[in-house]
Chains A and B, each alone.
Chain A
Amino acid sequence: MSLADRTTFKRRLDDLGVTVTEGPRSACAELVDEAAGEPAVGVARAAAELPDRVETEPTTADLREAHTGVTAAELGVAAYGSVAIEADRAGTEPVSLFVDRHVVVLREADLVPDMPDAFEWLGPRARDESSDVVFATGPSATADMGGLVHGAHGPKEVHVVLLRDEEADGDAAGESGADGDAAGESGADESEATDDE
């Protein structure tokens, strides 16, 4: 991930009509709370990642009723503004799909520059783990009814929560789930992606 990738990624999402909010990992629950509508269901990757009001063990009825689905993305593709959603046993795919708004949580460290990088990443996962991954770019769309409409079958809106790495890149504390602490910059830098292009 480079600064240029982040800038490109945000610009592409902006072009696609996708809202982006940013902050440190510690601000994840707060950012999701701001982005999610009501009622909300989600698949949590780590404890305390999502606000309490997001139902993380939904029934199918909860899913059907939900306005928002919150899931993690495994990867972001900067050049296209795409996020990789894994169709896993936890239900990430239905939670991201059978809702009006999809809130996607992506770590900046998981951003790659372009499509070939994404497929280099996917190759071993597909071969060794039979992973199922959907690269989603913006909301569901159709032009079959005489004009462009968002929300044909899938979500009408997409919101990306982009989490900055806590410490300096590649540092020891990096990967562990213990990222809830202060680090002094909580939410200070969160900002809506604006039409800066």
Chain B
Amino acid sequence: MSSDASKADRIRELMATEGDAVAENTRGFNEGRIESTGRLDDYEELKGDAREIKEDAIGRLPELIDRVKESVEANGGTVYLADDAADANRYIAELTAEERDADRLVKSKSMTSEEIEVNEALEEEGVEVVETDLGEWVLQLADEAPSHIVAPAIHKSREGISELFAERFDLDDPPETAEELTMFARERLGELIEDADVGMTGANFIAADSGTMLLVTSEGNARKTVTATDTHVAVAGVEKLVPTVEDFAPFVELIGRSGTGQDVTSYISTLTPPVGSPVPDFRNDADPLADGSGDDRDFHLVLIDNGRMAMRHDEELKETLYCIRCSACSNACGNFQSVGGHAFGGETYSGGIATGWEAGIEGLDTAAEFNDLCTGCSRCVPACPVEIDIPWINTVVRDRINRGEVDSGQTDWLFEELVPDEEPAGLDLGTRVVGNYETVAKLGSLAAPIANRLADAGPLRALAERVTGIDRRRDLPEFASESLVDWFERRGGAAVPADDAAREAVLYPDTATNYVDVDRGKAAVRALEALGVHVRVPDLPGSGRPPLSQGMISTAKSSAEDAYAGLALHVDAGRDVVVVEPSDLAMFRSEYEKLLPASSFERLADASYDVMEYVFGLLENGGDPGALRAPAEGTGPVASGKRVAYHPHCQARTIGVGEHATAVMERLGYDVRVSETECCGMAGSFGYKTDYYELSMDVGEPLREQFGDTDRTVVASGTSCGEQLDALLGTPPMHPVELVAPRE
């Protein structure tokens, strides 16, 4: 991540040229997903079913491959298992160019065919290839790559398409409206399909038991492609196999909803080829349509390995094979919404899951080109219909990239004190400084007055930007001179004695609360004590979130072990663990599953709470809301009036604790408006990096639009959300607990 001017330039250019179209479309899809899945009573159950089917299918893939071979051959088709792209292309070229002597092959949309670059291979053999999906056709005419796995031309504007048609077809009066453009394409492509010799499709799913393939489409071009040609070639990755036809059902219900927000797309073709339809003979069209010509149809299923069988044996990448390519992870992603797949993508695939695909198919180098763009905000996790932990795949790949990038020439010894991690020497310094944020914060707090002043000094920031890639346009967190733990000890510890308390809690001194935003920690103590809780604030190690965000898994694991060791005693003593910083709570409740033994993870996850979730629980169990602060008119440092604007932290939403703050505030009489933005864009350290500063500000733009001119008091639970909102709105927000805690 050493600052790479070309990367920042490329992102800036894409934001300017394609960003608006991509943002409008992906945000529309994302809202559509939320509405459409919201109409399903059994959404979670369907996702569970889909996940189970995929786990089972990938688990016994070799058996399913044998099975589908039998089924397709029994139906009269042929199956070819291609080791890689070259192997697949050789087979397809031989079939179409030599055996069929085809002049033209028409194609419906298939990402797998993009992956193997079959168009180029066929054109070299003299076969004309025509993309019949309207979006793909536009890209073929423009000689561009898809920017989205489902809506490939999402980055093109209507005006741009009109200009393209005018230029390519030499039109004086080109079609302009969406309707005119569509009808123009329908007519042109209709003619090309009628005269085609071979039809190529992908496959969304293939049932091994019957050889039935399922195609999810809306335009009808896949249906025409198959019907109008007597030779059908289907190209599909081996991971598309499911055991039975009945297994299709949950995917059909989920795929359109998850992707573009359609309950179901116009056409779900379930073909058991060769298909039965007669082949319309458009050249000799006086003959009857139903002439029995369907009996002579030929079908070839080309199953592609191209790295997938190896991914099956890679415990971390294996989950990628469950992906049904619905695009939910692209649409839900703040960064993707701003830049699209031309920046957030590799050779073929784009969006969060692309890191897994590209790492498995192309290799780590390709994944490394865009993997940084996953910030770990986790908003894709609840959106994924097969429950893939997409941020984890990104973290693992980042870790592998880190380890592969070792450059012994780097002068790490200078920073030895700052970066006491378990990572290989030579790891990029920006990565290491962020990854070791706990140490940086501790030292910063010790030397707070000097450190803060130095942090604002221009020449030093310029140096820091060059060495660490931390953008000088960002305000750096200001370290407190007294940590929360020290404050708590100085005040004499708990104000509510254990004997008088209904509950005992440990307020976990996460790094941000302990060293930077100490006030929200103090507010949390006051709120809990006001509700009769015996509170302790022991000195405890960091959760490991910063190193994990940089892909430093070993360091994160060791932090997790230390944090768990420090907390286990309290959990054993029956104390609840209350956390202020959502990204640290998300470690305990989610990521620790990957870092700790199962029983340790479960014990800590069950005992930990978000501070607002905990306050909510206390109120639900008879706590006196009168002990907290209701809205007050008037002024003062934290006087707010009644109206509040609240941005829940991305990871808090994912683990289901985003809404407790809203409930508590409303219970106390506040009028709360909740932001609709998935992630503020800062995403921990991401927005501090020079390469990504402008992108991060762009991702935050919808928040500025929603909250920018509000007279409401802005509250946010994450430290980095707070920094971002400060930058976007010009005033730093407070944590919800600071709003509701009694005054000092």
Asked if A80 and B276 sit within 8 Å, CB to CB, the answer is: no
Given known A57-B288, A87-B276, A123-B246, contact A140–B266 (CB-CB < 8 A): yes
Interface assignment of B80: CB less than 8 Å from any CB of chain A: no
Is B88 at the interface (CB under 8 A from chain A)? no
Name the distance in Å between B671's Cβ and chain A's nearest Cβ: 33
Which residues 95-152 in B have Cβ within 8 Å of A in the complex? 132-135, 138, 151
Chain A CB within 8 A of B2 CB: no
A145 with B268, Cβ < 8 A, contacts A60-B281, A97-B224, A152-B186 known:
no
B212 neighbours in A (Cβ, 8 Å): 122, 126
Chain B nearest Cβ from A143, distance in angstroms: 7
Contacts A62-B289, A146-B156 supplied; 11 other A-B pairs, CB < 8 Å: A57-B290, A87-B277, A89-B276, A115-B249, A122-B212, A130-B211, A134-B268, A135-B269, A139-B266, A145-B185, A153-B224
A131 — which chain B residues lie within 8 A by C-beta? 272, 276
Closest to A88 in B: B276
Bin chain B's interface residue count. Answer: 35 or more
Q: Pick from B138, B209, B249, B285: contact of A61, CB below 8 A.
A: B285
Q: Taking the complex as formed, is A138 at the interface, i.e. its CB lies under 8 A from any CB of chain B?
A: yes
Partner of B287, one of A60, A127, A142, A143: A60
Q: Which residue from A64, A120, A139, A152 sits with its C-beta under 8 Å from B246?
A: A120
**B residues lining the A interface (CB < 8 Å):** 75, 132-135, 138, 151, 153, 156-159, 161, 177-179, 181-183, 185-186, 189-190, 207, 209-212, 218-221, 223-224, 227, 244-246, 248-249, 252-253, 260, 263-273, 275-278, 280-282, 284-290, 292, 294-295
A146 touches B286 (CB 8 A): no
Evaluate whether A119 and B248 lie within 8 angstroms (CB atoms) in the complex, with A130-B210, A147-B178 already known.
yes
What residues on B are CB-neighbors of A170 within 8 Å? Answer: none
Q: In the assembly, what is the distance between CA of A141 and CA of B268, in Å?
A: 13
Return 10 A-B CB contacts under 8 Å, by A number.
A57-B288, A59-B286, A86-B276, A89-B277, A91-B289, A119-B248, A130-B272, A137-B267, A140-B220, A149-B183
Known: A63-B289, A132-B272. A94 touches B245 (CB 8 A): no
Residue of A nearest to B293 (CB): A89
Q: A58 in the interface, Cβ–Cβ < 8 Å?
A: yes
With known contacts A82-B264, A144-B151, A93–B227 Cβ distance under 8 A: yes
Q: Is the CB of A64 within 8 A of B282?
A: yes
Number of A positions contacting B (CB below 8 A): 57
Asked whether, in the complex, the Cβ of B218 is within 8 Å of the Cβ of A115, the reply is: no
> A60 is contacted by which of B156, B223, B285, B295 (Cβ under 8 Å)?
B285
- Give every chain A residue within 8 A of B246 (Cβ-Cβ): 116, 119-120, 123
Give every chain B residue within 8 A of A46 (Cβ-Cβ). none
Residue among B181, B186, B227, B276 with max Cβ neighbours from chain A (10 Å)? B276
Q: Which of B151, B158, B207, B223 has the most CB of A within 10 A?
A: B223
Looking at the complex, which one of A123, A136, A147 makes contact with B267 (CB distance below 8 Å)? A136
The interface residues of chain B lying within 8 Å CB-to-CB of A132 are 269-273, 275-277
> What is the CA–CA distance of A124 and B334 in the complex, to the nearest angstrom?
44
Chain A residues lying within 8 Å of B186, measured Cβ to Cβ, are 151-153
Do A126 and B272 have beta carbons less than 8 Å apart? yes
A143 to B290: give the CA distance in the assembly, Å: 33
The 6 closest A-B pairs by CB, nearest first: A154-B220, A146-B158, A147-B178, A152-B219, A144-B135, A60-B285
Instruction: Say whether A127 contacts B209, CB under 8 Å.
Output: yes
* A144 engages B275 (CB within 8 Å): no
How far, in whole Å, are A101 and B113 apart by their CA atoms in the complex? 32
Given contacts A136-B267, A141-B219, whether A98 and B133 have CB atoms under 8 Å apart is no
Check A94 against B276 for contact (C-beta < 8 Å): no
**A109 close to chain B: CB less than 8 A:** no
A178 contacts chain B at the CB level, 8 A cutoff: no
- Report yes or no: B263 in contact with A80, Cβ–Cβ below 8 A: yes
Q: Could you say which residues of chain B place their CB within 8 Å of the CB of A57?
A: 288, 290
In the complex formed, the residue of A with least CB distance to B135 is: A144
Point out the residues of chain B lying under 8 angstroms from A149, CB to CB.
178-179, 182-183
Contact in complex: A59, B288 (CB < 8 Å) = yes
A133 at the interface (CB under 8 A from B): yes
Please report which residues of chain A, range 107-129, place their CB below 8 angstroms from some CB of chain B when the two chains form the complex.
115-116, 118-120, 122-123, 126-127
CA distance A140 to B207 in the complex (A): 25
Check A137–B220 contact: CB distance below 8 A: no
A151-B244 in contact (CB<8A): no
Q: Is the CB of A93 within 8 A of B275?
A: yes
The answer to whether A153 and B178 touch across the interface, beta carbons within 8 angstroms, is no
In the complex, how many angstroms separate the beta carbon of B141 from the nearest chain A beta carbon? 12
Which residues of A sit under 8 angstroms from B276, Cβ to Cβ? 86-89, 130-132
Contact (A64, B278) CB under 8 Å given A97-B224, A132-B270, A154-B220? no
Q: Which residue on chain B has the smallest CB distance to residue A143?
A: B151
Residues of B within 8 A of A92 (CB): 277
Q: Does A90 contact B (CB under 8 A)?
A: yes
Residues of A within 8 A of B179 (CB): 147, 149
